[in-house]
């Protein structure tokens, strides 16, 4: 089992929720709708508002950023996901069947303003396995009152009256914070507070993906505890500027003590945001290498995290096309990597990984997808913890 670790804490400055009056908060908007900046002002969201830390108490709290977690919070999810995986792989199905009675007749809603395959379906599968009723909203742009001008905040409040947990994805940075702020003053008729899980907000964060990615690294590398992460050399390749998954994963790894070396591999125009790099160097836990040359660093890597060019984040498609074929992992390139390299990718992929690599045992990205169900089951267990205090004991 993955041991709890006491000595690792999040560096206070490592991440930040985009502030409502920040120039980085999107001013983009659909016709007849408010921008995120306008929404924040409309609901009176304070400039420096932050969601509360988790610190072992998940119940009644929204989860929108890895900034909320301590190393022990990460360890708790990994421990629980490991137990869930072991139970689902064994013949001991009784616990899973009995768990369904604990959650009946609760429900979870998905609210996706942006397309998704893996995140939405793995959350919905996880909820169904746990006995939750699932209200699926895969296209909020066209198939909800958002098309009539309803705001993200109002929509979250409406959904919160129906379901205690909302899983939301939105193309704009700050949407998850706005939903969480709008929900914090609500109390449902059963005495619980509705909460939101951030399933991705533009180029901001994707915290549940970070939980999945860390769990996958631990399982694939057969690590025993968080200290073992510190001996790894981890590379991140591709669009590191717009890729929310690499932002959340980098911050999460740093929270857990960091790898020995971070390698950020990208063209200069798509490099990891400077505030993230500065937070890593300020913490001093890991060496940081920034390069555009994959061939130079590949032989040193224990883990390579590949991400696609985020074409939907570019205003200039010609600029996007210039980068699309810059990096491509092929069987020939894999020959230069370590025999025990772990190759992962949040998917979907475009041309950055040759399909011929799929049969390589080091390619873990499809196993990574399967891990998403176990990890999100663990997260949902935690999210329902306070009103059902004995719930997590099934996995201890």
Domains in the chain: ranges and CATH: 36-205+372-395 (3.40.50.1370), 207-370 (3.40.50.1370)
Q: Which of 134 and 242 is assigned the larger pLDDT?
A: 134
Which pLDDT does position 182 carry in this prediction? 96
Classify 291 as helix, strand or coil: strand
Which pLDDT does position 19 carry in this prediction? 38
User: Which residues in 78-181 belong to E strands, given as ranges?
Assistant: 107-112, 133-137, 165-170
Alpha helices, H only, 71-143: 71-89, 94-103, 118-129, 140-143
Residues 6+ apart with CB under 8 A from 11: 254, 255, 279, 282, 283
Which pLDDT does position 3 carry in this prediction? 46
Which pLDDT does position 327 carry in this prediction? 87
- pLDDT bracket for residue 11 (50, 70, 90): very low
Please state the rounded mean pLDDT for residues 336-359: 95
- pLDDT bracket for residue 136 (50, 70, 90): very high
State yes or no: pLDDT of 5 exceeds 60: no
Which pLDDT does position 323 carry in this prediction? 67
Beta bridge partners, 197, equal 63, 167
Neighbours of 27 (CB within 10 A): 12
Rounded-to-integer distance, Cα 163 and Cα 179, Å = 14
Please state the rounded mean pLDDT for residues 332-347: 97
Please state the rounded mean pLDDT for residues 349-368: 96
State yes or no: pLDDT of 137 exceeds 60: yes
- Whole-number mean pLDDT of the chain? 84
Beta bridge partners, 165, equal 108, 195
Rounded-to-integer distance, Cα 37 and Cα 34, Å = 8
DSSP 393: G
State yes or no: pLDDT of 18 exceeds 70: no
- pLDDT bracket for residue 202 (50, 70, 90): confident
State yes or no: pLDDT of 340 exceeds 80: yes
Please give the model's pTM, rounded to 2 decimal places.
Answer: 0.86
Please state the rounded mean pLDDT for residues 192-220: 94
State yes or no: pLDDT of 100 exceeds 70: no
- Over its C-alpha atoms, the chain yields an Rg (Å, rounded) of 20
Q: Which of 87-96, 117-126, 144-153, 351-360 has the lowest mean pLDDT?
A: 87-96
State yes or no: pLDDT of 118 exceeds 80: yes
Catalytic residues: 118-119, 148, 169, 206
State yes or no: pLDDT of 144 exceeds 90: no
Q: What is the pLDDT of residues 46-84, one digit of tens each?
A: 877 888 999 999 988 999 999 999 999 999 999 888 888
Which pLDDT does position 17 carry in this prediction? 40
Which pLDDT does position 49 carry in this prediction? 85
Which pLDDT does position 350 carry in this prediction? 86
Q: What is the pLDDT of residues 271-326, one digit of tens each?
A: 999 999 998 988 778 999 999 999 999 999 999 999 988 665 556 666 656 766 77
State yes or no: pLDDT of 29 exceeds 60: no
Which pLDDT does position 86 carry in this prediction? 83
Please state the rounded mean pLDDT for residues 257-278: 92
Q: What is the pLDDT of residues 212-235, one digit of tens each?
A: 999 999 999 999 877 789 999 999
Which pLDDT does position 23 carry in this prediction? 36
Rounded-to-integer distance, Cα 161 and Cα 159, Å = 5
Q: If residue 200 lies in a helix (H) or strand (E), which one and from where to where?
A: strand 195-201
């Amino acid at each position: 089992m993955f041991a709890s670790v006491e000595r690792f804490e999040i560096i206070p400055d490592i991440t930040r929720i985009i502030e409502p009056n920040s120039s980085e908060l999107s001013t983009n908007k659909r016709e007849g709708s408010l921008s995120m900046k306008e929404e924040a002002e409309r609901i009176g969201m304070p400039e420096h508002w932050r969601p509360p830390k988790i610190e072992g108490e998940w119940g009644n709290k929204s989860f929108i950023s890895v900034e909320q977690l301590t190393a022990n919070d990460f360890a708790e999810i990994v421990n629980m996901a490991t137990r869930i995986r072991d139970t689902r792989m064994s013949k001991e199905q009784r616990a899973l069947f009995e768990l369904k009675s604990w959650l009946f007749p609760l429900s979870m809603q998905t609210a996706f303003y942006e397309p998704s395959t893996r995140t939405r379906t793995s959350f919905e599968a996880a909820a169904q396995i746990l006995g939750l009723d699932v209200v699926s909203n895969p296209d909020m742009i066209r198939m909800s009152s958002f098309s009539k001008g309803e705001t993200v905040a109002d929509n979250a409040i409406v959904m919160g009256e129906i379901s205690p947990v909302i899983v939301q994805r939105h193309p704009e940075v700050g949407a998850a914070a706005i939903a969480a702020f709008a929900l914090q003053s609500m109390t449902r008729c059963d005495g619980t507070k509705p909460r939101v899980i951030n399933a991705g907000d533009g180029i901001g964060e994707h915290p549940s993906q970070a939980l999945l990615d860390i769990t996958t690294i631990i399982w694939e590398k057969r690590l025993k505890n968080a200290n073992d992460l510190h001996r790894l050399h981890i590379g991140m390749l591709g669009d590191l500027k717009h890729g929310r998954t690499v932002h959340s994963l980098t911050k999460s790894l740093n929270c857990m003590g960091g790898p020995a070396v971070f390698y950020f591999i990208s063209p200069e125009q798509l490099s990891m945001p400077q505030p993230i790099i500065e937070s890593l160097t300020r913490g001093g836990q890991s060496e940081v290498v920034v390069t555009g040359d994959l061939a130079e660093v590949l032989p040193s890597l224990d883990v390579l995290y590949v991400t696609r060019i985020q074409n939907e984040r570019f205003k200039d498609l010609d600029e996007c096309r210039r980068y699309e074929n810059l990096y491509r992992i092929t069987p020939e390139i894999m020959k230069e990597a370590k025999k025990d390299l772990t190759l992962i990718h949040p998917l979907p992929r475009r041309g950055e990984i040759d399909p011929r690599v799929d049969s390589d045992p080091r390619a873990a990205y499809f196993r990574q997808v399967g891990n998403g169900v176990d990890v999100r089951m663990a997260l949902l267990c935690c999210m329902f913890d306070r009103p059902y205090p004995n719930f997590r004991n099934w996995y201890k």
